[in-house]
Amino acid sequence: MRRTTALRGAAALIALLPAAAMAERGADGHLNIIYYQAPSILNPYLSGGTKDIESSSLIIEPLARYDEKGERVPYLVDAIPTLENGGVSQDMTSITWKLKPGLKWSDGSPLTSADIVFTAEYCMHPEGGCAQLSKFEGVKTVEAVDDLTVKVTFEGPKPNPYLPFVGGQSPIIQKAQFAECLGTKAPTCTSANFGPIGTGPFVATEFRPNDVISLKANPNYRDPAKPAFATVTFKGGGDAAAAARSVLETGEFDYAWNLQLPPEVLEKMVAAGKGELVTGFGTLVERLELNLTNPSPSLPPETRATLKEPHPFFSDIRVRKELSMAIDRPLLTEIGYGQAGRATCNLVPAPEAFASTANDACLTQDVAGAKALLDEAGWVPGPDGIRVKDGQKLAIIFQAPVNAIRQDFQALIKQWWQDIGVQTELRTVDPSVFFGGDPGSPDTFQKFYADVEMYANNFDGTDPEAYLAMYKCGNEPRPETGWQGENINRFCDPAYDALIDKLGETGVFEERTKIAKEAHDLYMQQSVLLPLVDRGRVSGKSKTLGGVVLNTWDSELWNAADWYRIK
C-alpha cells in the first residue's frame, strides 16, 4: 500500500536529548524564568495561549515530543510506534503506545494507561470545550490494553497518527485529579487547573494567575539526577523590554521568552554582557484574524460573536480582501523584526514542502486595487472620507495584546486602512488576559469581541494537519463550549473540511503536501486570516545557564529538565 511510505522509518533516527552537566537533583539551586505574558492557567486543554501551554509543560508531559529538528522523541514511552515495530497497524487505523515501566506522578502514584484514556475522554467530552480538540481529529476510541499499554483507534486509516498525546499541546493529565472535571465542569476545577499533578521535572507549589508561579523539583521525576534546579520562579507580566533587560542587562533572570523588540534595541542590551539571544525560525506567524460574526455589544451574550449573528460587512469577501491589499507587509517586517522576520502570505510558512507560493501577491501593497474593490462592492466615500453603504459606515474595532511592536503595527495598519476609507478604532488588551482562557472575560482572543485582532501562533511538529484542522466547521469558540475552540474567525466551508478529511487519510508524502497546500490556499484566498510576518523565535538566556536548546517545533521549555548552571 503506497500510503504506508509516510510512516516507514518514522523512528529510525531518534535524537538523544542533551545531557545536563549535573551531579544530583537540585544541586544548582534556583532558576528564574520570565514570560511577559503571564500564565492564566496550567491546563493547556482550557487555553490556546502559548504562555499557558509552555508554563504547564514544566509540569505535565505528552507521551512524545518534537525536538529542535522537528523529529519525534519518546518521553513517557521507550519508543515511537511505527509500522516497522508494529506500533502502528498495517491498515493504519490504530496506534499502540507502551509506557515506560515504573513511571510515577509527582504525588507518588503510578502513571497508567487509564490516565491516557481519561485524557482523551476529558478533551473529547461532548459537553466540554477543549482548546486542543483538533489533536483528536478522527479518533474513534482510546482503550487500555493493560496498565502500560494504550491503543488509539481512528475512524479510518490515519497515516499521521501522531496527533493525540504528542507535543506540548497534548499532555497527559491525571485521572484521579481531574475525574470530577469532565465537560462543563472542567473550568470550575480551580485546584486542578492551577496545580496539576504531573510527570514533568517540576511541581507547582503556588500559582498566582497572571502573576507568578513557584515550582520545586519533582521528587518522583524519572531521572534521579534531574532537574538540576531545586526551585523555579516563573514570573509573568510586564513587557518585552523589561523581560529582556532582566536577562541581558541586569542578570536578574535566567531566561526570557519571546523578546518581541526591534533588533537594534536587543543589540544594545546584549552589549551589557550578562546574557545572549537564542533564535530560530519555525512556523510562528503574526496574523490578523477577521471576525465573520457580529461582535456588537448590542447583541445578547448568547448570540454575540457566534454564527447566529453573521458579521454585517465581513460576509462580503471583497471587504476582507481590500483590508489585506492595503497592507505593506515588507515594511512591517523591516520595522518590527529586521532579519528576524520574513513577510509572508501564508499561515503555514514551513516546512518548505508545505509552504505555498500561490498567495504571494499579498507581498505587494495595492492601495489603488483596494479602493477599486471597495468601489465595486458599493462602499462610497462619505464627506469625512469614510466609506458608507446603505447608511452603514465601514468602521471596525481592531484589537491586539499590549506589545510595542504590535502597537506600531496597529498604528501603521490603521493609517493604511484610513487611506482607503476604513474607520479604525484601536484597542489594546493585557496579553495575560487576551491569551487566557477565562470564559467570563470579554477580552480573550477566543471570545473575539472585536472586528479584527492581531496575534501570533504556531503548531508543534512539522506536519500541519492538526493546525489546518482547527478551521473546520464546528471548531469555533461559543458559549456552549465555554468559549474554547480553535477556529477563531468562525470560518466554515464544507469544501475545506473535505480536503482536511482527505489529508487525514493520505500517507504518501508528496500527496499529503499537495492536499495540505490545496486546503491552505483555499483558506488563505478567503481572506479571513491575513498573515503578516513569519517571525523568528527570539528569546534570551543568561550566560550562566546551560543546556538550553531552542525549539521552534514544541514548547520552548521542552528540555528544562536538562538545564543547569554553568559554574
> Is the CATH code 3.40.50.300 the one for domain 24-59+200-274+543-566?
no
Instruction: Report residue 375's pLDDT band, with 50, 70 and 90 as the boundaries.
Output: very high
Contact call for residues 494 and 473 (beta carbons, < 8 A): yes
Tell me the DSSP string of 435-464: TS--TT-TT-TTT--SSEEEEEE--SSS--
Architecture of domain 60-187 in CATH?
Alpha-Beta Complex (3.90)
Q: What is the pLDDT of residue 23?
A: 64
* pLDDT score, position 22: 45
**Distance from C-alpha of 197 to C-alpha of 118, rounded to nearest angstrom:** 14
Which cell numbers hold the place of 96? 499502540
Region 553-564: what's the mean pLDDT? 97
End-to-end CA distance of the chain: 55
Same fold, 60-187 and 282-460+527-537: no
Contact 358, 517 (CB under 8 A): yes
Strand 387-389: give its sheet, edge to edge: 380-381, 387-389, 392-393
Residue 1 pLDDT = 34
Mean pLDDT of 41-69: 96
Contacts of 498 (CB under 8 A, 6+ apart): none
Q: What is the pLDDT of residues 291-311, one digit of tens each?
A: 999 999 999 999 999 999 999
pLDDT band at 526 (very low <50, low <70, confident <90, very high): very high
Give the per-residue pLDDT at 143: 98
Q: In the predicted model, is pLDDT for residue 467 greater than 70?
A: yes
| pLDDT tens per residue across span 92-115 | 999 999 999 999 999 999 999 999
The helix/strand/coil state of 467 is helix
* pLDDT of 18 strictly over 60: no
Rounded to two decimals, the pTM is 0.83
**Alpha helical stretches, state H, 486-550:** 494-504, 509-524
CA–CA distance, 154 with 176 (Å, rounded to integer): 26
Q: Which residue type is seen at 407?
A: Q
Rg (CA), the chain: 23
Whether the CA torsion 300, 301, 304, 308 is positive or negative: it is negative
Check pLDDT > 80 for residue 331. Answer: yes
pLDDT at 10: 39
Question: How high is the pLDDT of residue 37?
Answer: 92
Mean pLDDT, all residues of the chain: 94
pLDDT at 3 over 70: no
236-272 in b/e form (b: 16+ CB < 10 A) is bbbbbbebbbbbbbebebbbbbbbbbbeeebeebbee
CB count in 10 Å sphere of residue 149: 15
Give me the mean pLDDT over the 335-340 stretch: 90
User: Which one of 3.10.105.10, 3.40.50.11540, 3.30.470.10, 3.30.450.20 gives the CATH number of domain 282-460+527-537?
Assistant: 3.10.105.10
Q: Would you give the DSSP letter of residue 336?
A: H
Which percentage of the chain shows pLDDT scores above 90? 92
Q: For 414-438, what is each residue's pLDDT tens digit?
A: 999 999 999 999 999 999 899 988 8
Give the residue extent of every domain in the chain: 24-59+200-274+543-566, 60-187, 282-460+527-537
Q: Tell me the pLDDT band of 60, cut-offs 50, 70 and 90.
A: very high
